Amino acid sequence: MKQPHSPVLLNESIKLLVNNKAGKYFEATMGFGGHTEGILEKLNSDGIVVSTDVDINAFSFCKEKFKNDKRVKIYKFNFSLVDVIAKIDSIEFFDGILADLGVSSFQLDDSAAGFSYSSNTDLDLRLDKNLRKTAADILNEESESALANIIYEFGEEKNSRRIAKAICKMREIKKITKTEDLKEIISSVTNARYLVKTLSRVFQALRIYVNEELNILRTFLENSMDVLGKGGRLVIISYHSLEDRIVKEFFKHESLSCICPKESPVCTCGKERRLKILTSKPITPTANELQMNKRARSAKLRAAERI
């Protein structure tokens, strides 16, 4: 298999991440190894990269790709377990932690995975096939109001109530199992002009919900703090506003040394400042990168340093 995914913001992320040639680095979202490879190129023979992905194809591809490089350790674990993975490898602290969130081009293009509405496949949307519930299960089992909330909260789709109602009407007639079923439902209540955007939002909402992506991101950021050494860098690339907001707020919170109310005469909160923000504004892809890789268009990179 040739490289099935072009790494996004590769130079920018590696430059911010790697400041120790003999350091230990964690790549939370290994995918097809683009960023892992970028880190390895900066390291000497003492450096280590620990990379993980929940996707079996990504895991198998990278197992083979890096089989001759002793500096790489590969896992098929959820990245929220960053602290557990560090323990397994007897690593007290990483010099840098990188996460390139979302899904890879391979997952989007793999018609069997059901991540894209452009082919008619099973409505799965699980990154980790060990998860219990698929998108189809959610659509057939959740109540109308729960579905509306999922679509509104995780897809930021204003027409969520109408879509949820249409889903429930359709499932009275037949089980919803295919991407085409969902497309048909959404088309029935959406103006053709907004169809593509609405489909993207609903698919995004279901993917986030099925994989619990936002809670997992919060847990990962929190757990990273325990295994990121002083001076170590945390670099996160996100692809939609919900993820970016979580990263931005986490960085902001961790960069404050006091969260007492303004009117409080003395500090009583005991808050510890753990991060220095390195990117006051998120870094986005250059016009050149966007020309080569359209899928990079929504990427935002934020970086911070452990203090």
**Strand order through the sheet with 24-27:** 72-75, 48-52, 24-27, 94-100, 228-238, 300-306, 275-277
Of residues 145-174, which lie at the interface with ligand SAM (CB under 6 A)? none
- Which of residues 100, 110, 289, 305 is near ligand SAM by CB under 6 A? 100
- Determine how many CB atoms are found less than 10 A away from the CB of residue 253: 14
- Which of residues 12, 50, 104, 121 is near ligand SAM by CB under 6 A? 104
Number of residues forming the site for ligand SAM (CB under 6 A): 21
- Encoded one letter per residue, x for contact with ligand SAM by CB under 6 A and - for no contact, window 7-46 reads x---------------------x-xxxxx-----------
- Which of residues 82, 216, 242, 275 is near ligand SAM by CB under 6 A? 216
Question: Taking the complex as a whole, how short is the minimal distance between the CB of residue 167 and ligand SAM, in angstroms?
Answer: 25
- Which of residues 25, 79, 152, 250 is near ligand SAM by CB under 6 A? 79
DSSP-derived secondary structure for 57-105: HHHHHHHHHTTT-TTEEEE-S-GGGHHHHHHHTT-S-EEEEEEE-S--H
Question: Taking the complex as a whole, how short is the minimal distance between the CB of residue 301 and ligand SAM, in angstroms?
Answer: 12
123 interacts with ligand SAM by CB under 6 A: no
Partners of 238 in beta bridges: 300
Of residues 71, 66, 82, 107, the one with CA closest to residue 27: 82
Question: Distance between the two ends of the chain, CA-based, in angstroms?
Answer: 42
54 interacts with ligand SAM by CB under 6 A: yes
